[in-house]
Structure 1
Amino acid sequence: MNQKFLCDFYRMTGKKFKRNIKSYLNIMFQHNVRYMYWWRKRNKKFIGKIARVFLFKYSKKYGLEIGNAKIEEGFYLGHPYNITINEESILGKNINIHKGATIGKENRGKKLGAPKIGNNVYIGVNSTVVGKIEIGNDVLIAPNTYVNFNVPSHSIVIGSPGVIIPNEKATEGYVNFCV
């Protein structure tokens, strides 16, 4: 099984994947785990075609639009409905993303491009991160926050327009089961 998916599984369930019925039932019945299982297989030779059929179905059902973005291990889909991630985005390890969040591309201006997001980042409900910007490590983006500017590591971003609040343990208690 794909090592990145095993890390995703651990982050979303809090349990190591074991080749037993309980672990396979988690894949079958938790739609966030099931989606990431097929998403990680989408570029494989034979199984990739099957994976893309399932991804299309789940994308329509749950409103998940995650293109071919570069997503490292430990990806956590919390309340996975209506999440959009641009295919040019780069996401580090241990990213939490929640319902209604958008990681998008800016199509004009100085920030033309998609975001690069560091490790141990929490992206809250209905938050938007857009443009060719960099989000540092250990950053908490609060719910309903609009971010179109660089964010340094160890920060909390809140509001619209976003305000940066330095905090050495910004994601403590929010990003759990790190890999």
Structure 2
Amino acid sequence: MYNQDKKRYGSGRIPYFQKLYRKTQSANNKFLKMFYKVIFTLAKRKKFIELSADTVIGEGLYFGHAYCITINPNAKLGKNINLHKGVTIGQENRGKRKGAPTIGDEVWIGINSTIVGNVTIGNNVLIAPNTYVNCDIPDNSIVFGNPCIIKRSQNATEDYINRKV
């Protein structure tokens, strides 16, 4: 995945910690993998990013203002996800939504948005800034508010997704 990202975007356009994340995932040698994991950990701490090297994230990941972002290691993120400052993708530890989110392809998540629990976010979804999501969101939707207000839109993320693969 890392090599595909590098070919698509060039070497200087992806945040350094994200390059290390991809290298950690793609390393076949266990010593090289450990080396990248240590460097990745140092790089992400500098930006206050909580992201496990084992988290499943598809190609085309984009961090807009990559600071103070938390992604639970059990969350699954699809292709062409855009995350912005202050985003939390977290786990719920009790109740009917116990677990971590699954997020589809081409999803734009705005500043300070929170997604928690075993919920599914569909494809082509725009989550507005400061939105709290704790319910399933269907494909082709715009979501805003707390509690979630869901509006159907065929072109929800049109002109929003950066670094599309």
TM-score > 0.5 by shorter chain: yes
> What TM-score, normalized to structure 1?
0.84
Per-residue deviation, residues 86-138 of structure 1 (Å, max 9, x unmatched): 01011110000111001001100000000000000001110000100100000
- Say whether the 8 Å CA contact 2:57–2:77 is kept in structure 1: yes
TM-score, length of structure 2 as denominator length: 0.91
CA–CA distance in 1 between the matches of 2:42 and 2:62?
20
Does 2:109 align with 1:102?
no
CA contact 2:82–2:162 (8 Å) conserved in 1: no
- Mapped pair 1:49 → 2:34: yes
1:160 lines up with 2:146 in the alignment: yes
- Return the alpha-carbon distance in structure 2 between the equivalents of residues 175 and 16 of structure 1: 14
Which is richer in helix?
A: 1
* Aligned: 1:61 with 2:43: no
Distance 2:132 2:96 in 1: 17
Aligned residues: 161
| Contact 2:56–2:75 under 8 Å retained in 1 | yes
Amino acid of the structure 2 residue aligned with 1:34? Y
Unaligned runs of 5+ in 1: 18-22
Aligned partner of 2:20 in structure 1 is 38
Residue 93 in 1 paired to residue 90 in 2? Answer: no
1:52 Cα shift? 1.7
Percent of paired sites with the same residue: 47
By how many angstroms is 1:150 displaced? 0.2
Q: Show the 5 A alignment for 1:1-179.
A: 4-9=1-6, 16-17=9-10, 23=11, 26=12, 33-43=15-25, 44=27, 45-67=30-52, 68-179=54-165
Runs of at least 5 residues in structure 2 that lack an aligned partner in the other structure: none
State the alpha-carbon separation in 2 of the partners of residues 158 and 8 from structure 1: 30
Q: Is contact 1:130-1:147 (8 Å) kept? A: yes
